[in-house]
């Protein structure tokens, strides 16, 4: 009898691996409908967990036979980890697969894309150009050379961003609780990072100590011309405080690849306060969590979890 698997991971670029799995598994792919996912879960032993459908307490309770959750992600905020642990369900992500994820530079690259879009007023200029308005003098920006970038979290992505920043001839400072040493990077306190940075990149994981870490108190310590870039998780920033800081020009701008509420439906998401603000204001840019969305990173991450499942089945671990 084939093993029943709920797949909420878009299998694009991994068709070969999925085909191998189908010899052993009955796989139901559901990328959008939570109701359909719950309906299929009853007899599933495995969930391949993407980010579009949250694997929360309700889903876990419905999956009475669940033994394994695999996710091609470094973050786990789409998983109800406390409930999963109580149920003794095994979870595998790519968070500590360093040989694999060290090949992924996509998220750091996108952080600089957001930064440059704000500093060089790219979207404003593009919208003008589409109207036949050659607004060169109006859209004067800033260069990165000699600016100070503060990197919050000097792990894998922080190190990649530091290397890119040095290529732009930026001064690099960082704050990390582990006090990691990187050539060309000066370690500073959290307060000094806020105080002296022209640009701040958030590269820390979301946990109890980092939730709402960037709040109004933090914004008031930042430079008025500073730019905040978040490609980590939405809840690290207090979003009400961010809106206030942008409206009152406490900081110059923000580029976000993540927000708190990514799993909301389209109607609710379109009314999200940050998205609503961005429609009429040019000092906030939001992208739809595309930091890791490159052909290279998607394929390698998804191939890993599909092959992990295949290996586990062949070893009769499931």
Q: Which residues are catalytic?
A: 233, 262
SS3 170: coil
Contact between residue 126 and residue 285 where contact means Cβ atoms under 8 Å apart:
no
Which pair of structure tokens corresponds to residue 48? Answer: 């391949």
- Position of tokens 């400072």? 173
User: 138 vs 232, 255, 280, CA distance in Å?
Assistant: 32, 21, 18
Query: Which residues, including other chains, have CB under 8 Å from residue 270's CB and lie 6 or more apart?
Result: none
> Which residues have CB under 8 Å from 65's CB, separation 6+?
4, 42, 43, 44, 45
Residue pair 283/246 in contact by the 8 Å Cβ criterion: yes
Alpha carbon of residue 29 to chain centroid: 23
Q: Is 150 helix (H, G, I), strand (E, B) or coil?
A: strand
Helices (H), the chain: 15-21, 34-41, 57-62, 81-86, 98-101, 106-119, 122-130, 156-167, 190-196, 216-219, 239-247, 266-270, 273-278, 295-314
Judge contact between 251 and 245, C-beta under 8 A. Answer: yes
Q: In whole angstroms, what is the distance from residue 54 CA to residue 52 CA?
A: 6
Rg (CA), the chain: 21
Least Cα distance to 239 among 199, 278, 294, 208 occurs for 278
């Amino acid at each position: 009898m084939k093993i029943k698997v709920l797949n909420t991971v878009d299998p694009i670029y991994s068709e070969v691996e999925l085909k191998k799995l189908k010899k052993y598994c009955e796989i139901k792919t559901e990328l959008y409908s939570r109701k359909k996912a719950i309906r299929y879960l009853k007899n599933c032993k495995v969930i391949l967990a993407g980010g579009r459908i949250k694997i929360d307490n309700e889903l876990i309770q419905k999956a009475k036979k669940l033994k394994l959750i695999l996710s091609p992600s470094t973050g786990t905020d789409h998983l109800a980890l406390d409930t999963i642990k109580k149920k003794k369900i095994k979870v595998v992500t790519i968070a500590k697969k360093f040989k694999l994820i060290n090949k992924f530079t996509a998220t750091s690259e996108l952080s600089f894309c957001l930064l440059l879009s704000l500093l060089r007023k790219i979207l404003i200029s593009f919208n003008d150009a589409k109207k036949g308005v050659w607004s060169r003098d109006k859209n004067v920006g800033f260069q990165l050379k000699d600016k100070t970038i503060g990197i919050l979290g000097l792990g894998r992505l922080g190190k990649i961003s530091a290397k890119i920043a040095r290529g732009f001839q930026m001064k690099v400072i960082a704050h990390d609780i582990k006090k990691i040493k990187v050539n060309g990077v000066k370690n500073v306190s959290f307060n000094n990072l806020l105080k002296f940075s022209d640009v701040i990149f958030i590269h820390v994981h979301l946990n109890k100590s980092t939730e709402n870490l960037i709040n109004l108190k933090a914004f008031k310590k930042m430079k008025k011309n500073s730019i905040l870039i978040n490609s980590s998780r939405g809840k690290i920033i207090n979003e009400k405080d961010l809106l206030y800081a942008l409206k009152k020009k406490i900081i110059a701008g923000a580029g976000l690849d993540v927000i708190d509420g990514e799993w909301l439906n389209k109607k609710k998401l379109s009314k999200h306060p940050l998205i609503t603000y961005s429609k009429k204001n040019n000092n906030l840019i939001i992208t739809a969590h595309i930091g890791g969305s490159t052909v290279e990173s998607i394929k390698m991450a998804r191939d890993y979890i599909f092959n992990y499942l295949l290996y586990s089945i062949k070893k009769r671990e499931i």
